[in-house]
Amino acid sequence: PLPAPYRVPLPIPAVARPTGTLGGADLYEITQRTADVEIIPGLRTTIWGYDGTFPGPTFETWSGRPVVVRHTNRLPVPTVVHLHGGHTPSDSDGWPLDLVLPVGDTSNWAHVHNGVPMVGNTIAGTREHHYPMSQRAATLWYHDHRMDFTAPNVYRGLAGMHLVRDDVEDALGLPAGDHELPLFVCDRAFAADGSFDYPSLDRTLRTVPGVEDRYMSGVLGDVVLVNGAPWPVHEVDGTRYRLRIVNGSNARRYSFALRVPGGPDLPFTQVGSDGGLLAAPVRQTALDAAPGERFDVVVDFAAVPVGTEVTMVNTLGTGSTADVVRFHVVRAARDDSRVPARLADDVAPLVPGPVVREFAFGRGAVGDTRGWTINGHAFDPNSSLADIPLGQVETWRFRSDVHHPVHVHLDPFQVLARDGKPPRPTDVGWKDTVDVLPAEIVDVAVRFTDLAGRYVFHCHNLEHEDMAMMATIRTV
């Protein structure tokens, strides 16, 4: 039986602290390891976590201040770390074959795929990721990106948040401190003994990738976790709060709304999207969030009487997945925060040049089995699907068969149109993941700025990604 919702307090992940400096950068050291934790009350769950926590520690870094994160792998399988939304040099970006082998593991993990050797920069035990943080303030997250096994690795807990801050955002006076809450939302299924119930073909995650055939469309759980706790509850003041929402689910899409008993829903004032602040706040009654997307919103709990329970629900869910998190307004308090009418000056619309590239996301052959492809191709790390000149604004046209949340590494884009019509309200601002609906054509304006190298773009339904819906691009 599932636990009753809104009993467990909302956990706030620890904030990562630098352990020193390295070449002028702040050095952080993270150990990837297993831990036994209580997620479902009364049961133990073995997680794979950054520093043994799920979600991992939250990074809070400053724009323009470089960071090195030294990851040590004490898990039983290779791992790869990607900073999602990071403007990161190629060799630190988490190329799916840049494996970090478990400490002390000498087995041969060379990856052979459909008979073709796939070579990456495999390293033993520890890798240093160099992040220049030359990007605006934004809600990023980091997670595993291991070739063919991203979905089960993330499912076991390898994900965390990374907030980039800067002077522009700092000067706005948005709610801060205890009134700023990270909300990492993901769904999981649990076996009766408390373990994560993920339908891998090979539960050791060592050799055979993929999931049972009936999970082709993605793995959904019946428990919604926020910051790793099932349907938690949080006591809030009757003031504004800033919520940093990440959809870290493998395959679940949500539409979030704030229910008030006996009253109209509370609105979200959206101040930022994947790539940081919007030009101006946008009032949203619902937030449609596909896997990988982030929403930075302000909610004003002063709009309801003290004592009110405001519930963030998922209107796309049924039964247990319609519940998400509850805020219990317990006291009136003074509020010095504000949401200025103007937020940022660097969100001018991109004007695309003549280049239009089409990418069709659909089912297809992956070797001699079935999987997911882009323009009919299964992921090929050895050849680039497109070489993109730096500095050029292009139109990329994504076509879908079913839902595909498309994510591009390295630099954010802007959504231009859906089926030739204006994008939806939640497509606003700098995005790096766009929810492409079934049989839809989404046009985005893409521009890579200054880092040349090899990157990927892919579907962020992690089962689709593992089943080859990923492509290599080179920025040149």
Q: Give the binding site for ligand C2O (CB under 6 A).
A: 82, 84, 143, 145, 292, 407, 409, 456, 458, 460
404 binds, among Cu ion, ligand C2O, none (CB under 5 to 8 A by kind): Cu ion
Using CB distances below 5 to 8 A depending on partner kind, what does residue 179 bind out of ligand C2O, Cu ion, none?
none
Residue 2 CB, nearest distance to ligand C2O (Å)? 28
The distance of closest approach from Cβ of residue 90 to ligand C2O in the complex, given in angstroms and rounded to an integer, is: 13
Radius of gyration of the chain (CA): 21
To the nearest whole angstrom, how small is the minimum distance from the Cβ of residue 455 to ligand C2O? 9
Q: Which does 272 bind (CB under 5 to 8 A by kind): Cu ion, ligand C2O, none?
A: none
Pick one of Cu ion, ligand C2O, none as the site partner of residue 458 (Cβ within 5 to 8 A by kind). ligand C2O
CA dist 55 and 228 (Å) reads: 6
Nearest partner of 460 among 251, 212, 160, judged by Cα: 251
The minimum distance between CB 380 and ligand C2O, in angstroms, equals: 16
Cα separation, 359 vs 164, in Å, equals 31
Task: Map residue 2 onto helix, strand or coil.
Answer: coil
The binder of 464, among Cu ion, ligand C2O, none, by C-beta within 5 to 8 A per type, is: Cu ion
Q: Which does 84 bind (CB under 5 to 8 A by kind): Cu ion, ligand C2O, none?
A: ligand C2O
The span from the CA of 23 to the CA of 207, in Å, is 38
Buried residues in 355-385 as b, exposed as e (16+ CB within 10 A): eeeebebebbebeeeebbbbeebbbbbeebb
Work out what residue 459 binds among Cu ion, ligand C2O, none; the CB cut-off runs from 5 to 8 Å by kind.
Answer: Cu ion
- Give least dist CB 292 to ligand C2O, A: 5
Point out the residue whose Cβ comes nearest to ligand C2O.
84
The entry of ligand C2O, Cu ion, none that residue 292 binds, CB within 5 to 8 Å by partner kind:
ligand C2O
Residue 173's identity, in one-letter code, is: G
Cα–Cα nearest to 323, from 1, 39, 3, 6: 6
CB 81 within 8 A of CB 91: no
Residue placing its CB nearer to ligand C2O in the complex, 143 or 188? 143
- Output the smallest distance, CB 225 to ligand C2O, in A: 18
> Residue 456: beta bridge partners?
472
Residue 84 Cβ vs ligand C2O, minimum distance, rounded to whole Å: 3
Shortest spacing between CB 301 and Cu ion, in angstroms = 36
* Least gap, CB of 154 to Cu ion (angstroms): 15
165 versus 460: smaller Cβ distance to ligand C2O: 460
| Residue 71 binds which of ligand C2O, Cu ion, none (CB < 5-8 A, kind-dependent) | none
Output 153 or 461, the one with its CB closest to Cu ion: 461
Closer of 286 and 470 to ligand C2O (Cβ): 470
Q: How far apart are CA 208 and CA 200, in angstroms?
A: 9
Work out how close the CB of 242 gets to ligand C2O at its nearest, in angstroms, rounded to a whole number.
Answer: 22
**C-beta of 150: minimal distance to ligand C2O in Å?**
8
Is the CB of 111 or the CB of 407 nearer to ligand C2O?
A: 407
* 71 versus 143: smaller Cβ distance to ligand C2O: 143
Which residue shows structure tokens 């699907």? 385
User: Residues in the site for Cu ion, rule: CB under 5 A?
Assistant: 404, 459, 461, 464
Rounded-to-integer distance, Cα 188 and Cα 223, Å: 5
460 with 304: CB under 8 angstroms? no
Q: 407 contacts which partner out of Cu ion, ligand C2O, none, CB within 5 to 8 A by kind? A: ligand C2O
DSSP-derived letter for residue 196 is: B
Q: What angle do CA 79, 85, 91 make, to 5 degrees?
A: 50
Cβ nearer to Cu ion, comparing 68 with 385: 385
Nearest to 137 by CA among 294, 269, 290: 294
Closer residue to Cu ion, CB minimum distance, 88 or 472: 472
Specify the residue, 404 or 447, whose C-beta has the smaller distance to Cu ion.
Answer: 404
**Angle of CA points 144, 147, 153, to nearest 5°:** 35
Q: What are the CA-CA distances from residue 39 to residues 8, 52, 152, 191, 404 (Å)?
A: 9, 14, 18, 12, 29
461 binds, among Cu ion, ligand C2O, none (CB under 5 to 8 A by kind): Cu ion
**Closer Cβ to ligand C2O, 80 or 312, answer by number:** 80
CA–CA separation, 240 and 234 (whole Å): 14
Q: Pick the closer one to ligand C2O by CB: 136 or 409.
A: 409
Which burial class, exposed, middle or buried, applies to 405 when counting CB atoms under 10 A from its CB (0-12, 13-18, 19+)? buried
CA dihedral 222, 225, 230, 232 (to 10 degrees): -140
